[in-house]
Amino acid sequence: MAYLESIKVFVRVVELGSITSGGRDLRLTPAVASKRIKELEARLGTRLLNRTTRKLVPTEAGRMFYDQARRVISTLEDAEASLAGIASNPRGTLRVTAPLGIGRRLVAPLVPAYCEAFAHVDVRLRLSDRRVDLFEEELDVAFFLGTPRDSNLKQRKVADVPRVLCASPEYLERHGPVSNPRDLMEPAHHCLLLRFPRSPDYFWMLETEDGPRKIVANGRFDADEGDVLLNWALDGKGIANVPRFEVKDALKSGELVEILPETPPLPSVLTCLYPHRKLQDPKVQGFIDFMIPRCRAAMDA
């Protein structure tokens, strides 16, 4: 068993690039994780990892061992999942990711209730607005807002997510009203843009009487985290394009004002993504079944 645990530590260290990160993911201290790696190297009689100035990288032997070790762990996880399914008692660890806003407001509040209902499943929740690779990062479930690019993933729709353009009253007082979509392209206004490194030109899609209309939004500020944009909007720095449920309280209180309600942004689609090989894993299916109706109810509340 100790040998298998050492293999699991080695695999996560390779995938996450450091002993600290790999150990933390498995709830081990860096000292214990380092000890497991040394025990594994001693057993195999070869060095598996080299340290560079930035991260740990596998040696040639380490790469060869990792490829086989990852397959062994996947096989064991599938075997455990099959037994858990027979017993109708999901168990194991679920690695879940979600965008910041969705994660903080919808997913995270529901995780404790899920863990109470399924006492033998641990959830590791990672929140980020960046695009993640489920295979590379060994994730089980990803909440995704938008259109997935990877056709190798299974997906289940959670809900349509209405969006809204909004700004603070102070911003509109300083910069003037927004009376039509063309105003969003004028230098007088600042659109707050969610944009990632190497992303294409940014645009917003609005619903109009003539169908969807593409607007190349003008803006001085962009960020790769949606909550940063929301905070800028609340601080009077510009116009945000955000899911309505994220700002419903601010709209109700008057902290934010809806802009162009007659031509709102196209709604987004929230989906749960998971690899095909997880299809029969009861903890994955159980987690998604648990989360979908509760996420819908939270958005409608």
> In this predicted model, what pLDDT tens digit does every residue of 134-177 receive, in sequence order?
877 778 999 998 877 656 678 899 999 999 999 999 999 999 99
Residue-wise pLDDT for 91-134, tens only, equals 888 999 999 889 999 999 999 999 999 988 999 999 988 777 78
Judge whether residue 57 has pLDDT over 70: yes
Q: What is the pLDDT of residue 222?
A: 87
Tokens read off for 299: 């958005």
Whether residue 246 has pLDDT greater than 60: yes
> At residue 279, does pLDDT exceed 60?
no
Q: How sure is the predictor about 81, in pLDDT bands with cuts at 50, 70 and 90? A: low
pLDDT of residue 151: 60
Q: Is the pLDDT of residue 221 over 80?
A: yes
Which of the two residues, 83 and 260, has the higher pLDDT score? 260
Q: What is the pLDDT of residue 236?
A: 96
Cα 51 to Cα 44: distance, rounded to the nearest angstrom:
19
Give the DSSP letter string of the chain. -HHHHHHHHHHHHHHHSSHHHHHHHTT--HHHHHHHHHHHHHHHTS--EEE-SS-EEE-HHHHHHHHHHHHHHHHHHHHHHHHHHHHT---EEEEEEE-HHHIIIIIHHHHHHHHHHSTTEEEEEEE-SS---TTTTT-SEEEEES----TTEEEEEEEEE-EEEEE-HHHHHHH----SGGGGGSTTS-B-EE--TT-----EEEEETTEEEEE----S-EES-HHHHHHHHHTTS-BEEEEHHHHHHHHHHTSSEEE-TTSPBPPEEEEEEEEGGGTT-HHHHHHHHHHHHHHHHHHH-
The span from the CA of 245 to the CA of 102, in Å, is 10
- Mean pLDDT of the region 250-261: 96
Task: Please tell me the predicted confidence (pLDDT) of residue 85.
Answer: 55
pTM for this one? 0.68
Which segment of 55-64, 70-79, 102-111, 151-160 scores lowest on mean pLDDT? 70-79
Question: In the prediction, which pLDDT does 297 show?
Answer: 92
pLDDT, residue 258, reads 97
Instruction: Quickly state the pLDDT bin for 198 (edges 50, 70, 90).
Output: low
Q: What pLDDT is attached to residue 301?
A: 75
* Per-residue pLDDT, 53: 57
